[in-house]
């Protein structure tokens, strides 16, 4: 069982991580690099009359930096894949079959738990954005991911309103309590960049998680077939 | 027979939990640990994936 979970997770995670990295380079990285020019002071917003809207496309690719991004993207999605695959295997032990079709739903739910719900309180950060204390944000992030994951699990597998009621409370709790926020707003980057960055980071995340769920389901059922043959 | 089935199920659950534990470890290292080299290497992915950074 361990080997089956890990094999499916590593292959699917690596594939989804590569897709996420490619989408990141195409759509997210240019905004990030542009924002870094404001973070370092090379560009200023409202400072010198006008702010150029198309600078980042001229910045040359940094091979070491981008190579590390590929590695860490693959690593991150392998980590997520191990957790998602474990939960799906646990559900299958309890009689809920896991396949590519249900894998897609698992992937979307994983995206909601690990990216969408935390971003409701902590929007994907553009470099240079002001934010609350790091440690507090990390604790809130972990708590939100765990509570949202538990809430989604209870909605999916709960059988009565007591379970669903508890699920709604778990899903709402982190946002009712609220995420740690910055005391002062001094971010140097234009809000146009921050908004575009947040929506693109989330959309790339959704695509990567959908791929992750699909790959996991396909590999899982494939191993079943190989085992049965 | 019942014992056999029970022990097989609990071994399965244990191995599943072990895999999940490794996954949590990877997410912590790739997304959250603030050691300077690790932070710099994972910087762009952390921002793009929505982890709290800096």
CA nearest to B14 within chain A: A2
What is d(CA B38, CA A44) in angstroms, rounded to the nearest whole number? 29
ipTM of the prediction: 0.89
Please report whether residue A174 resides in a domain.
Answer: no
Asked if the model's pLDDT at residue A56 lies above 60, the reply is no
Chain A residues with beta carbon closer than 8 angstroms to that of B36: none
Please report whether residue A149 resides in a domain.
Answer: no
Report pLDDT digits (tens) over A60-118.
678 899 999 999 999 999 999 999 999 999 999 999 999 999 999 999 999 999 999 99
- E strand or H helix that includes residue A220: helix A191-228
Please report whether residue A25 resides in a domain.
Answer: yes
Distance from CA of A57 to the nearest CA of B (A): 16
Please report whether residue A196 resides in a domain.
Answer: yes
CB contact under 8 A, A5 and B41: no
Residue A94 makes CB contacts below 8 A (sequence gap 6+) with A157
Report pLDDT digits (tens) over B14-27.
999 999 999 999 99
| Nearest CA-CA partner of B49 in A146, A29, A103 | A29
| Nearest CA-CA partner of A83 in A17, A170, A5, A21 | A5
Please report whether residue A212 resides in a domain.
Answer: yes
Count of structural domains within chain A: 1
Domain, as residue range, for A29: 2-131+182-228
Q: Is there a contact between A117 and A206 (Cβ–Cβ < 8 Å)?
A: no
Give the A window 61-90 contacts with B, CB below 8 Å.
65, 68-69, 71-73, 75-76, 78-83, 85-87, 89-90
Contact A11/B at CB under 8 A? no
Please report whether residue A102 resides in a domain.
Answer: yes
Rg of chain A on CA atoms, in Å: 20
């Amino acid at each position: 069982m361990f080997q089956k979970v890990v094999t499916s997770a590593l292959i699917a995670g690596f594939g989804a991580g590569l897709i996420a990295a490619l989408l990141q380079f195409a759509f997210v990285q240019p905004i990030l690099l542009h924002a870094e020019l404001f973070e370092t002071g090379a560009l200023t917003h409202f400072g010198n009359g006008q702010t150029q809207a198309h600078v980042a496309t001229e910045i040359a690719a940094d091979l070491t930096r981008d190579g590390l991004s590929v590695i860490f993207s693959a690593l991150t999605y392998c980590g997520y894949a191990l957790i998602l695959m474990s939960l799906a295997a646990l559900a299958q032990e309890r009689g809920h079959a896991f396949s590519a079709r249900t894998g897609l739903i698992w992937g979307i739910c994983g995206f909601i738990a690990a990216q969408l719900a935390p971003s409701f309180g902590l929007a994907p950060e553009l470099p240079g954005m002001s934010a609350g204390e790091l440690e507090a944000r990390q604790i809130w992030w972990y708590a939100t991911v765990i509570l949202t994951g538990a809430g989604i699990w209870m909605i999916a597998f709960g059988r009565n309103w007591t379970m669903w009621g508890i699920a709604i409370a778990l899903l709402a709790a982190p946002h009712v309590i609220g995420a740690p926020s910055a005391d002062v707003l001094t971010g140097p980057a234009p809000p146009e960049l921050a908004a575009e960055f947040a929506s693109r980071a989330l959309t790339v995340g959704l695509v990567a998680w959908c791929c992750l769920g699909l790959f996991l389901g396909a590999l899982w059922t494939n191993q079943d077939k190989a085992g049965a043959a | 027979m019942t014992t056999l089935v029970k022990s097989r199920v609990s071994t399965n659950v244990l191995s599943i939990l072990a895999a999940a534990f490794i996954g949590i470890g990877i997410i912590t290292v790739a997304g959250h640990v603030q050691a300077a080299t690790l932070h710099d290497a994972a910087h762009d992915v952390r921002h793009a994936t929505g982890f709290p950074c800096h």
